Amino acid sequence: MNWMTTIFYFFGAITVLSALGILFTRNVLHATFLLMLSFFSVAGIYVLGNASFIGVTQLLIYVGGILILMVFGLMLTTKLNGKALVTENHNRLIGVLLGTVFFSILSYIIIFSANFEMLKSNKTLPENAVEFIGINLMSNYLIPFEIAAILLLVALIGAAVISEKRKEKQE
Amino acid sequence: MSNETASFGEILIYLIGGIVFISGGLFTAWIIRPKRPNEEKLTTYESGEDPLGGAWGQVNIRFYVIALIFLLFEVEIVFLFPWATVFGREELIEATDGLWGWVALSEMFVFIFILALGLAYAWRKGYLEWDKPEIKPSDFKGPVPTEKYNAINHKYSKFTSEQPKK
């Protein structure tokens, strides 16, 4: 087992352990921090899988953006009254059953239908993935790129309008 | 293993170094410090003020809009990075007779302009404005007349660089 494999298993263990921690902790804020750890190690796995651009994007958007939004969502909760926000467990039996069924269906599909052969193929990866993405973004995928801008514009205006309505309701 | 992945190894070393240094410092402090806690020492340090309530208080809703707008511009940054590595590449510009640079530059300007429209919309509609708390001047009349305050301020003004307020 070389050191790349060791690092891979290290990040994998952190991802799985922190995801399990999210399940078992009652404190919502602790769950958010554990989710950050999980996202972070998933970014590490992306980098190890030669997808460093996706790894950096994961760090930038999920760790730096989505999680900030989650923490803000927590801080804006009206249920806060000076005490830590904790979750409760309901419908344990049905939850465990549904979770087990869903997990087994997913793992069945993944194990029996995933094509792991593509890892062994001789398809060469571009030496510098970021430049490869940049050149394609400016040539073959120019229209989707500008449509992405319009999508972001729609999301921006929508987010602003929705939060404004919420504020009026509060007053 | 490509060169790019190998350069991330340096980042990993920096990460490990940071964790080792911080936990090493905390661990050393834990070994050598005396431990005699009392109620005063255990309160949250808030610049000398006694903190009121816990840390679990509700925050102004305005932060959410700011965070959402920040997130959208962060997605824009993700698109900017690959563009920035290629738009000025000499061999690409020469191969297309200078067209590549202009196309890349103008397309990115269009991209940023579309997003800036959204920001301008949010700004114009007042979504970025902060709810300021209204401060009402109280009609409390102190027993000490204003001239006495001014006299005191004037008397000690030579000790400070600040001019006394009128």
Say whether A72 and B67 touch across the interface (CB within 8 A).
Answer: yes
Domain membership of residue A133 (yes or no) is no
Kindly state whether residues A2 and A81 are assigned to the same domain: yes
User: Which percentage of chain A shows pLDDT scores above 70?
Assistant: 84
Q: Report whether pLDDT(A78) > 70.
A: no
- Which of B2, B7, B68 should we substitute to test contact with A (largest number of A Cβ atoms within 10 Å)? B68
Of A78, A135, A152, the CB nearest to B58: A78
Q: Report whether pLDDT(A34) > 90.
A: yes
pLDDT given for residue B124 in this prediction: 87
Contacts of residue B120 in chain A, CB cutoff 8 Å?
Answer: none
Domain membership of residue A64 (yes or no) is yes
- Select from A33, A29, A27 the least CA-distant residue to A14: A33
Domain membership of residue A97 (yes or no) is yes
Query: Among the listed ranges A38-42, B37-41, B161-165, which one has the minimum average pLDDT value?
Result: B161-165
Domain containing A168 equals: 141-171
Q: At what angle do helices A67-75 and B62-86 cross, to 10 degrees?
A: 170
Query: Among the listed ranges A2-16, A84-98, B124-138, which one has the minimum average pLDDT value?
Result: B124-138
Query: Among the listed ranges A13-17, A47-51, A98-102, which one has the minimum average pLDDT value?
Result: A47-51
Q: B2 and chain A: CB distance < 8 Å anywhere?
A: yes
Kindly state whether residues A95 and A64 are assigned to the same domain: no
pLDDT band (50, 70, 90) for residue B147:
confident
Of B70, B104, B114, the CB nearest to A138: B104
- Which of A8, A135, A147 should we substitute to test contact with B (largest number of B Cβ atoms within 10 Å)? A135
The CATH number linked to A76 is: 1.20.120.1200
Kindly state whether residues A147 and A85 are assigned to the same domain: no
Domain membership of residue A165 (yes or no) is yes
Q: What is the SS3 assignment for B46?
A: strand
pLDDT given for residue A18 in this prediction: 95
Q: At what angle do helices A142-170 and B62-86 cross, to 10 degrees?
A: 170
The chain B residue lying nearest A69, using CA atoms, is B67
Q: A99 and chain B: CB distance < 8 Å anywhere?
A: no
Q: At what angle do helices B99-124 and B62-86 cross, to 10 degrees?
A: 180
Kindly state whether residues A39 and A80 are assigned to the same domain: yes
Contacts of residue B12 in chain A, CB cutoff 8 Å?
Answer: 7, 44
pLDDT mean across residues, chain A: 83
Domain boundary among A89, A114, A149: A89
pLDDT given for residue B14 in this prediction: 93
Kindly state whether residues A37 and A83 are assigned to the same domain: yes
Query: Among the listed ranges A145-159, B111-125, B148-162, which one has the minimum average pLDDT value?
Result: B148-162
pLDDT given for residue A135 in this prediction: 86
Domain membership of residue A134 (yes or no) is no
pLDDT mean across residues, chain B: 82
Q: B84 and chain A: CB distance < 8 Å anywhere?
A: yes
Average pLDDT over residues A126-138: 81
Contacts of residue A58 in chain B, CB cutoff 8 Å?
Answer: none
Domain membership of residue A135 (yes or no) is no
Domain chopping of chain B, boundaries:
1-36, 62-125
Say whether A160 and B69 touch across the interface (CB within 8 A).
Answer: yes
Q: Is the pTM of this model over 0.90?
A: no
pLDDT digits (tens, 9 = 90+) for B35-72: 888 888 888 887 877 777 667 767 777 777 788 888 88
Per residue, the 3-state secondary structure of B127-144, as one string, reads CCCCCCCCCCCCCCCCCC
The chain B residue lying nearest A58, using CA atoms, is B78
pLDDT given for residue B26 in this prediction: 95
Q: Report whether pLDDT(B142) > 80.
A: no
Average pLDDT over residues A46-63: 87
Contacts of residue B77 in chain A, CB cutoff 8 Å?
Answer: 60
- Which of B60, B89, B114 should we substitute to test contact with A (largest number of A Cβ atoms within 10 Å)? B114
Q: Report whether pLDDT(B162) > 90.
A: no
CA–CA separation, B34 and A43 (whole Å): 41
Kindly state whether residues A52 and A83 are assigned to the same domain: yes
pLDDT digits (tens, 9 = 90+) for B82-117: 888 888 888 888 888 888 888 888 989 999 999 899
Say whether A75 and B70 touch across the interface (CB within 8 A).
Answer: no
Kindly state whether residues A2 and A73 are assigned to the same domain: yes
Task: Extract the tokens encoding A157.
Answer: 């205006």
DSSP A8-42: HHHHHHHHHHHHHHHHH--BHHHHHHHHHHHHHHH
